[in-house]
Structure 1
Amino acid sequence: MTKSIIFDMDGTLFQTNKILEISLSETFEYLRVKEGWEGETPIEKYREIMGVPLPVVWENLLPNYSNDVRIMANDFFHAKLIDNIYKGNGELYPNVTETFAYLKSNGYTIFVASNGLPEYLSAIVEYYKLNQWLTDVYSIQQIESQDKAELVRILVQKYNITGGALVGDRISDIRAAKSNGLLSIGCNFDFAQAEELQHADRIINDISELKSILEEGAFQIE
């Protein structure tokens, strides 16, 4: 049996809020100059929808703009996120590396499945040297449907995962876990919403709490 833990990235392993506001502010300042954006930067709106695929993000943040403008804004925002990662403005959540070390030493393979773009995920993995623990990183951009459950299904099939859990902070993570027969572990972190977390099998307030959950026994795909 291959024991595996699949993690979401934003709001689960990486404290996206550390770079979110500054990157979004830089993007909307750019939009004010280039596209005549008026009003405040919609940071709270972004927080509400955090975890959905990026095209949906920009449909919500720029509802009255063309798709070309949304793509331009997304590209600019993405570049700023990566820039801020390499400037050291971001941070992993407490106990991530310690928990990864525990998982590896106990025979678990570790994956990331995220709605983030590949270059963004690679920047986080590279900057924080996560490759020493991760077996693979999957981005929603790898599939046409933009459905996280399908993304996880592809990962599960490729690596013949027969037991484990999916750890994330939003409903898309919980649904992806359940549809693939994995234990769903909800992270009560920055972007989590109580009405979504209530659907998770377990809820944690710190990533280190995974240890006690996993020590209860193996998880079989039904």
Structure 2
Amino acid sequence: METLGYLRHKGYQLIFLSNCSEKYMNAHRQAFQLNQYFEEMYCTETFEYSAKYKIFELIEKQYKENFLIVGDRIQDFEISHYHNLVNIGCNYGFGSEEELQQSDLRINAIQELQDIL
């Protein structure tokens, strides 16, 4: 929560895009009061489980330019590859070493974003 608050305070628009279900996303949105951090939250279920890079194409025009992708799976890195964006891989997530090799930069904890951004 501290890092999300830091990023918002620095003026970053945070957008959540996950492979999770709507029910899971909304439960976490409520439990952690995520609306105070994220501009919007999206899940692939809402888009009939389309690829994240395709969903990104539908939503990117609603936000400022200069996107940065933070994730742990190949689907996250595909967004950056298809759209020529920088990405940060999370070593602590669910991604395999092979998937994480697709990242431009890697972090061991979310708090490290405060040193990078």
RMSD over equivalenced CA pairs, Å = 1.4
Does the CA-based 8 Å contact 2:88-2:107 persist in structure 1? yes
More strand by share: 2
Shift of 1:204: 0.6
Matched, 1:188 2:99: no
- Structure 2, gaps ≥5 residues long: none
Please tell me whether Structure 1 or Structure 2 has the larger radius of gyration of its CA atoms: 1
CA contact (8 A) 1:115 1:140 kept: yes
Q: How does 1:52-71 map to 2 (within 5 A)?
A: none
Read off the aligned partner of 1:199 and give its amino acid letter.
Q
**Aligned counterpart for 1:112 among listed residues 3, 8, 16:** 16
Match of 2:55 among 151, 157, 160: 151
- 1:102 is matched with which residue? 6
The Cα of 1:190 is off from its aligned counterpart by: 4.0
Contact preservation (8 Å) 1:152, 1:180: no
| TM-aligned CA deviation for residue 145 of structure 1 | 6.0
Pick 1 or 2: higher relative contact order, CA cutoff 8 A, min separation 6.
Answer: 1
Tell me the alpha carbon deviations over residues 158-181 of structure 1, each in whole angstroms, 9 at most, x when there is no partner. 22x311311111111011122223
- Structure 1 segments of 4+ aligned residues over 4 angstroms from their partners: none
* 1:163 aligned counterpart, secondary structure: coil
| 1:199 equivalenced with 2:105 (yes/no) | no
Taking a change above 3 Å as real, the CA distance of residues 126 and 146 of structure 1, as seen in their structure-2 partners, is: same
Aligned to 1:133: 37
Give structure 1 stretches of 5+ with no counterpart. Answer: 1-96, 215-222
Percent identity between matched residues is 35
SS in 2 for 1:137: strand
